[in-house]
A = this chain, B = another copy of it.
Amino acid sequence: MLPTGKLLIGGQAVDGSNGVIRAINASTGAVVEPGFGGATLADLDRACSLAWSAFDFYRETSPEKRAQFLETIANYILDIGDPLIERCMIETGLPQGRLLGERGRTIGQLRMFADVVRNGDYIGARIDPAQPERKPLPRADLRLRHIGVGPVAVFGASNFPLAFSVAGGDTASALAAGCPVIVKVHSAHPGTSELVGRAVQRAVQDCGLPEGTFSLLFDSGREIGQGLVKDHRIKAAGFTGSRGGGTALMKLAAARPEPIPVYAEMSSINPVLLFPGALKNRAEGVASMFVQSLALGAGQFCTNPGLVLGVDGPDLDRFIAAASVALGETPAQTMLTPGIHKVYKDSIERTVSHPEVKTVARGVEPETPGQARAALFVTTAEAFRNHPDLQEEIFGASSLVVRCPDLTSVLDLIETLEGQLTAALHLDDSDHDEARRFLPALERRVGRILVNGFGTGVEVGHAMVHGGPFPSTADGRSTSVGSLAIERFLRPVSYQDLPEALLPDALKSANPFGLTRRIDGKLQLGIAVARENPGL
């Protein structure tokens, strides 16, 4: 199975005629065939029209049917086999092991959402029964469920070509919520995108769903991405990428005649806090874990540890020394695209020449021009406070250690940080009292707080938050990873005094889906809970 270079508009494969996107071999910089024809505005209009037509049918599919669809997508992605991994390695420069793992994560994510759909709790069904005898006024029968918001635009991410791209977390959660999806392909991995897109397209057909449930568009410029967010039939967007790109989409979405939510996951430097007890007892061990996390995947993770805060002194010196040694032995790695690599190199050069910053370590020299060297810098609390540019994310394996005079000044610095995805605390039992003082400031500022670990490695589960206050994401009330991500694409609708014959199945008195529902404010347990709590 090889890419053909065609757009997927509903059930069709179409030649795009608006410029050409060319895949680049990330390691060599060579062009890879075929070319991918860019979508025209007419292609965009047709995809939106099909998605809009599909919406009413698709959102009323039964839990079982929708769950099977998600599982079918997962199976068809697996069916592509080695050609998918091979194509993706070429386009992204990521190693095979990482991409096999990422495929597993993508499949697992789709299957998790299938479980979420079958369970049905996401529907949030509520019934307040009529009280015809209530005084002074009778109470009407009121029933509430959540439905999909409408067709969703998904922007593929460069750094997760499978798990946050065509059939990644945004697509899986939007489809689970009952929303058709139109993907704007990330031009860094067009062939990978087409292969996965064909798997989704085939699943749509085989499951008997309306063709507009899924489309995939290549964009040779910005016209299609912007047009998607502006189209009146698109009701939400999911994006993972740069702060500039994300905020541009937010502005477009807010300026529409009907504003829509954009769930943009943008930038984060993920502060690491080194508490005195941990530093004293195991500075070298923490430093080793830190460099592993920093260098993972050439540092191309949103949760990459880009900032380290610790109290100045011999123990922090030990940490810096050990981290410098480990980082100095870190091999150069190929970055996702020549463009990303160039931005990284420019940012590193700027930091190296920053008057208030000392370069304490660089990774091994690159063997090829596409490879990037890791970097470790040190500065003072005062300099960090006076130079807000030092807070800017450097996408890649670069981190800045800030020597702080005391723990209070660490906390003060935390209060100056912008919103973040994660904060990692390294602490021993003796640090608990100090660490407790930090939690309120961290809760206000980050989506995930972790102890004695690093933010890289985002578990796809039920208790995960991969989100955080602006600018780490557009909307800190949401997560883009984990089962809670489905809530981004839902809205509540209430039904008053509807005859049974007109009620949606989720709200019928007989409860045909066996849902857990809130009756008069109290949970009434459904089939799933009874199955999952056999002791009851």
Contacts and interface: CB of A to CB of B under 8 A. Distances in A.
Nearest to A517: B463
A144 interface: yes
13 contacts: A127-B463, A128-B459, A128-B464, A142-B461, A144-B463, A144-B465, A258-B418, A259-B470, A432-B499, A446-B493, A448-B493, A451-B498, A522-B533
A483 B448 CA distance: 27
Contacts of A447: 492-494
A475 B253 CA distance: 13
A449 B149 contact: no
Interface in A143-157: 143-144, 147, 149-150
Contact of A254 (B142, B250, B476): B250
Interface stretch (A78-86, A164-172, A344-352, A437-445): A437-445
A339 interface: no
A357 B81 CA distance: 66
Contact of A470 (B115, B258, B476, B490): B258
A477 B149 contact: yes
A462 B493 contact: no
A301 B357 CA distance: 61
Interface residue range, chain A: 35 or more
Nearest to A495: B449
Contacts of A144: 462-465, 484
A453 B147 contact: no
A469 interface: yes
A491 interface: yes
B521 A516 contact: no
A469 B150 CA distance: 11
B495 A450 contact: yes
Contacts of A435: 502
A65 interface: no
Interface string A508-536: 00000000101011111100110011001
A56 to B, nearest CB: 4
Interface of A: 55-56, 60, 101, 115-116, 119, 121, 126-128, 136-137, 139-140, 142-144, 147, 149-150, 250-251, 254, 258-259, 261, 418-419, 429, 432, 435-436, 439-440, 443-444, 446-453, 457, 459, 461-465, 467, 469-471, 474-479, 483-484, 490-499, 501-502, 516, 518, 520-525, 528-529, 532-533, 536
A143 B463 contact: yes
A516 B522 CA distance: 12
A453 B140 contact: yes
Contact of A258 (B419, B449, B453, B464): B419
Contacts of A459: 128, 139-140, 142
A117 to B, nearest CB: 12
Contact of A453 (B119, B418, B484, B497): B497
Contacts of A101: 136
B533 A128 contact: no
Given A493-B448, A521-B115, A462 B419 contact: no
Given A484-B492, A494-B449, A502-B435, A261 B477 contact: yes
Contacts of A524: 533
Given A250-B254, A459-B128, A502-B436, A516 B520 contact: no
A136 B108 CA distance: 14
Contacts of A501: 432, 436
Given A142-B459, A493-B449, A496-B453, A474 B259 contact: yes
Q: Which of A419, A435, A469, A491 has the most CB of B within 10 A?
A: A491
Contact of A465 (B137, B418, B490, B492): B492
Contacts of A525: 523, 525, 529, 533, 536
A474 B418 CA distance: 26
Contacts of A462: 126, 128, 144, 518, 520-521
Contacts of A484: 126, 144, 492
A495 to B, nearest CB: 5
Nearest to A432: B501
A95 B479 CA distance: 47
Contacts of A443: 147, 493
A126 B463 CA distance: 5
A454 to B, nearest CB: 10
A476 B259 CA distance: 10
Given A140-B459, A532-B522, A452 B497 contact: yes
Nearest to A258: B470
Q: Which of A128, A447, A462 has the most CB of B within 10 A?
A: A462
Closest 5 CB pairs of A and B: A450-B496, A465-B494, A142-B463, A144-B463, A56-B440
Contacts of A60: 440
A438 to B, nearest CB: 10
Nearest to A441: B56
Contact of A483 (B251, B436, B490, B521): B521
